[in-house]
Amino acid sequence: MSPEPTTPEPIDPDRISDLPRREMRLDEPLSLRLRRLKRFAVAFILPHWPSLLVAVLAMAAFAGTVVALPWLFKSLVNDILVRRDAEALHEIVFVVLAIFSVRAAAGYLQQFMLSRVSNKVTTELQNRIASHLLRLDLVFFQKNSVGQIIARATDDVNVLNNASSNIVVTLGRDLITFVGLVGYVLWASPQWFALALAGAPLIAVPVVIANRKLRALMRRGQALGGEILQAFEEGLHGIRAIKAENLEDVERRRLRETIVGRRKVGLKIARTRAALSPVVDLVTALALVAVLLVGGSQVIEGESDAGELMAFISALMLLYEPLRRLLQVNAQLQICGVSIARVYEILDRSPRIVDAPDAAPLAQPGGEIAFRGVRFAYAADAAPVLDGFDVTIPAGASVAFVGASGSGKTTVLNLVARLYEPSAGAVSIGGQDIAGVSLASLRDSIALVSQDVLLFDASVRDNIAYGRPDATDEEVAAAARAAAADVFIEALDGGYGFRVGPRGSRLSGGQRQRVAIARALLRDAPILMLDEATSALDGAIEARVQANVLAMRKNRTTLIIAHRLATVVAADLICVVERGRIVEQGGHLALLAQGGLYAESHRLQRG
Ligand SMILES: Nc1ncnc2c1ncn2[C@@H]1O[C@H](COP(=O)(O)OP(=O)(O)OP(=O)(O)O)[C@@H](O)[C@H]1O
């Protein structure tokens, strides 16, 4: 029987996200928005000033061709149609050709140069975001969903690009066109201009109201974009469980709710925009009618000429588009501002775990690893996961951490790699406190196979050689052999060239683990950490892998976390962790003889 579909809770990114929902804030002071805009322009747009200059010059030329049109109409009516002058007709044909040639060249240059800048800005911005994300601490990724982060790196970058291109075009082409045309109509007839202007407030009011509404709607739309990506990411990630448990309906509703939310906002945006256009058309028509009535009678009375009226009306009609875009510049600036804020919320995030000012390279990468009085909690207000944690792992030894789920074993490995920092005590390698070691040298010394294996949609070979792309085929095969992966890889269609699918989905759990172990072994780092790395393997293969890993050890220190105690009997040292402390430690036989927790668990597992 299928489970009763329940109505999902509305998605609230604040539930886990610590990236604020800036898009909902309409009250930011203008100075702050301008400062942010300036920062973005200086960092990403101004470096491309030569291309921008060419684009603006092209826009000015383009605007010039628009402003020339009313003159052209005037001459057309007065010199050709009224006077019936054939010579003037030939002249005007050349002028028309010249104007439209300039217009075509300027239009091309403007568009090409702007696209060039906009492509470069996108690339630079996304590269900056990508390298910054890779520097950030794990805490950031545990608080913010991948969907929310991707939305900022893609949606916001695109929005930013479109809006800033629009602003450049408006401030370049439209402003020059507007000033030129207003100058023309003022010069041509201040009286007709005053008449046309009478309707202007009628246009301005609905435009301003609609823009305010559009701004709020667009902010909401941007926020919903992130929510949709987050919903997809979470849903598709668990697609296997969703299908197996017939939860498609629940998932469909959850996704539909966010998707429909965005559509509703999209519809409101469309409706607001559409409603504006007839209002503006009507008011423009009224202005035209007023000018036509007054100007037309003056032409009939002989007080003015037909060409002048024709030129004036055409200028008035040409004014509409640049005016509309100029009125929207503020809205575009705000849209830009929202996306800039969202992007800088990532770029301004500083990693807390960084090299100390006097950081030195790790002197003895294979040296003794020691925890001294280590205390650690994942959050300042949370109970400590490790408290008074002490252990010494001799250089080149193999150490197994065993203990109940949630007792803090993975946390120990996290601290060795300095993925987190202890709040008290210290972790040292070869006597050197790792807080003073450069992160690059520390992490170069570590190979980690974690519980959730990282595989890419590439060949088995490329996945094994991920940390060492220069490895030879022989080295890759040797690592695969040591990880007991050679037999299954050779049986795959294409062998080492077999594409493993997204996240290694075309391999079994145990196969994925062995590819990951092969990768770690190929890395040949002095510290090897296996966090339940063989949990999905059957007993025989697991024993083979463990034996190989220990045999290949040479001078390598190996830290193993395992639940199956049978797999750790050969370790030099076994540490039993309970509630953040080591409660027993020693060799397998010594711990059995001690008759404590380890002996009891061993007895139960052998059962
Ligand atoms: N990123 C995190 N943020 C907050 N708490 C965490 C985080 N990771 C782990 N914890 C908590 O820390 C405690 C120890 O977790 P840890 O992963 O070290 O346990 P473990 O012994 O490796 O468990 P298991 O055997 O189940 O993998 C758990 O109570 C867990 O809830």
Q: How far apart are CA 600 and CA 350, in angstroms?
A: 47
Q: 21 in a domain, yes or no? A: no
In this structure, the answer to whether residues 406 and 463 fall within a common structural domain is no
Residue 371 scores a pLDDT above 90: yes
432-433 and 398-403 as β-strands: parallel, antiparallel, unpaired?
A: unpaired
Task: Evaluate whether 541 touches 548 at the Cβ level (below 8 Å).
Answer: no
Q: Decide which of 427 and 197 is more confident.
A: 427
Cα 408 to ligand 1 centroid, rounded to whole Å: 6
Which numbered atom of ligand 1 lies nearest the CA of 532? 27
* Shared-domain flag, residues 533 and 503: no
Best of 353, 409, 420, 563 for a ligand 1 pocket test (most atoms within 8 Å of beta carbon): 409
Q: Is the CB of 406 under 6 A from ligand 1?
A: yes
Summarize pLDDT for 106-116 with one digit per residue, the tens.
Answer: 999 999 999 99
Examine the pLDDT at 250 and tell me if it is beyond 90.
no
Q: Which atom of ligand 1 is nearest to the CA of 577?
A: 21
Mutate to test the pocket of ligand 1, among 375, 402, 405, 407 (most ligand atoms within 8 A of CB): 407
pLDDT at 27: 58
Q: What is the 3-state secondary structure (H, E, C) of 106-173?
A: HHHHHHHHHHHHHHHHHHHHHHHHHHHHHHCCHHHHHHCCHHHHHHHHCHHHHHHHHHHHHHHHHHHH
Q: How many domains does the chain have?
A: 3
Residue 323 near residue 177 (C-beta atoms within 8 A): no
The range of the structural domain enclosing residue 462 comes to 456-515
In a domain, 361, yes or no: no
Instruction: For ligand 1, say whether the CB of 508 is within 6 Å of any of its atoms.
Output: no
Q: Is 535 in the pocket of ligand 1 (CB under 6 A)?
A: no
* Shared-domain flag, residues 315 and 425: no
Please report the pLDDT score of residue 24 as a whole number: 41
Please report the atom of ligand 1 found closest to the CA of residue 142. Answer: 1
Alpha-carbon distance of 315 to 297, in angstroms, equals 19
Pair 487, 566 in one domain: no
Cα 401 to middle of ligand 1, angstroms: 14
Residue 8 has pLDDT above 50, yes or no: no
Q: What CATH number does the domain containing 72 carry?
A: 1.20.1560.10
> Is the same domain home to 388 and 283?
no
* Among candidate residues 522, 490, 489, 491, the one with its CA nearest the CA of residue 504: 489
**Torsion-angle region of 431 (φ positive above 0: left; ψ -120 to 50: alpha; else: beta):** left
Looking at residue 20, what is its pLDDT?
A: 57
Residue bearing the CA closest to ligand 1, atom 6: 378
Q: Which atom of ligand 1 is nearest to the CA of 580?
A: 14
Average pLDDT for residues 306-318, to the nearest whole number?
89
- Three-state DSSP class for 526? coil
4-41 in b/e form (b: 16+ CB < 10 A) is eeeebeebebeeebebebbbeeeeeeeeebeebbeebe
CB of 385 closer than 6 angstroms to any ligand 1 atom: yes
pLDDT digits (tens, 9 = 90+) for 493-503: 999 999 998 88
Beta strand segments in 288-418, E: 369-376, 386-393, 398-403
Distance 400 CA to ligand 1 centre (A): 17
Spatial distance between the Cα atoms of 486 and 511, rounded to a whole number of angstroms: 10
Instruction: Please state the atom number of ligand 1 nearest to the C-alpha of residue 138.
Output: 1
Q: Is a pLDDT exceeding 90 seen at residue 474?
A: yes
Q: Is the CB of 380 under 6 A from ligand 1?
A: no
Among residues 420, 403, 442, 386, the alpha carbon closest in space to that of 561 is found at 403
| Span from the CA of 410 to the centroid of ligand 1 (angstroms) | 7
In angstroms, what is the span from residue 174 Cα to ligand 1's centroid? 59
The predicted pLDDT at position 607 comes to 67
| Res 220: pLDDT | 80
Report CA(406)–ligand 1 centroid distance (Å).
5
**Of the ranges 88-92, 127-131, 296-300, 408-412, which one carries the lowest mean pLDDT score?**
88-92
**CA 342 to ligand 1 center in whole angstroms:** 31
Q: What was the pLDDT predicted at 34? A: 81
pLDDT of residue 113: 93
DSSP percent split of the chain into helix, strand, coil, nearest 5? 65, 10, 25
Tell me, what amino acid is at 345?
A: E
Query: Ligand 1 in contact with 123 (CB < 6 A)?
Result: no
Q: How far apart are CA 521 and CA 26, in angstroms?
A: 54
Last residue of a domain, which of 277, 312, 347?
Answer: 347
Domain match, 494 and 423 both: no
17 lies in a domain?
no
Task: Tell me: do 554 and 461 sit in the same domain.
Answer: no
Ligand 1 atom nearest to CA at 403: 21
Q: Is residue 592 part of a domain?
A: yes
pLDDT of 23 strictly over 50? no
pLDDT band at 477 (very low <50, low <70, confident <90, very high): very high
Residue 82: per-residue pLDDT: 77
The yes-or-no verdict on residue 25 having pLDDT over 70 is no
> Which of 515, 537, 539, 512 is closest to 606 using CA atoms?
539
CATH of the domain at 530: 3.40.50.300
Both tokens assigned to 122: 């996108």
Cβ partners under 8 Å of residue 563, min gap 6 = 402, 405, 532, 535
CA 554 to chain centre: 42
Structure tokens at 223: 């926020």
Euclidean distance between CA atoms 168 and 11, whole angstroms:
36
Closest residue to atom 10 of ligand 1, CA basis: 378
Name the least confident of 55-59, 380-384, 583-587.
380-384
**Residue 534 and residue 494 in one domain:** no
Among 24-38, 73-87, 530-544, name the one with the lowest average pLDDT: 24-38
pLDDT in tens, 221-232: 877 887 888 888
d(CA 433, CA 452): 28
Task: Determine if ligand 1 sits within 6 Å of the CB of residue 411.
Answer: yes
Q: Is residue 353 part of a domain?
A: no
Decide: 410 in ligand 1 pocket, CB within 6 A.
yes
Maximum mean pLDDT: which of 102-111, 283-292, 502-511, 563-572 = 102-111
Q: What is the ipTM of this complex?
A: 0.94
Counting residues of the chain whose pLDDT is more than 70, the rounded percentage is 95
User: Which of the 8 DSSP states describes residue 437?
Assistant: B
**Residue 437: CB partners within 8 Å, gap ≥ 6?**
359, 360, 361, 362, 418, 429
Q: What is the mean pLDDT of the chain?
A: 86
Residue 400 sits in the same domain as residue 436: yes
- Whole-prediction pTM value? 0.79
Predicted pLDDT of residue 14? 38
Region 473-486 average pLDDT:
92
pLDDT in tens, 155-214: 889 988 888 888 888 888 999 999 999 999 999 889 898 888 887 777 778 777 887 788
Q: Which of 16, 143, 375, 385 has most ligand 1 atoms within 8 Å of CB, for mutation?
A: 385
Between 196 and 490, name the one with better pLDDT.
490
pLDDT tens digit sequence for 505-533: 899 988 999 999 999 999 889 999 999 88
Mark whether 130 and 196 lie in a shared domain.
Answer: yes
**560 HSE (CA, 13 A, CB side):** 30
Is 7 a residue whose pLDDT tops 50?
no
In a domain, 362, yes or no: no
pLDDT at 10: 36
Of 18, 374, 411, which is best to mutate to test ligand 1, by the most ligand atoms within 8 angstroms of its C-beta?
Answer: 411
**Are both 466 and 534 inside the same structural domain?**
no
Check whether residue 502 and residue 530 sit in a common domain: no
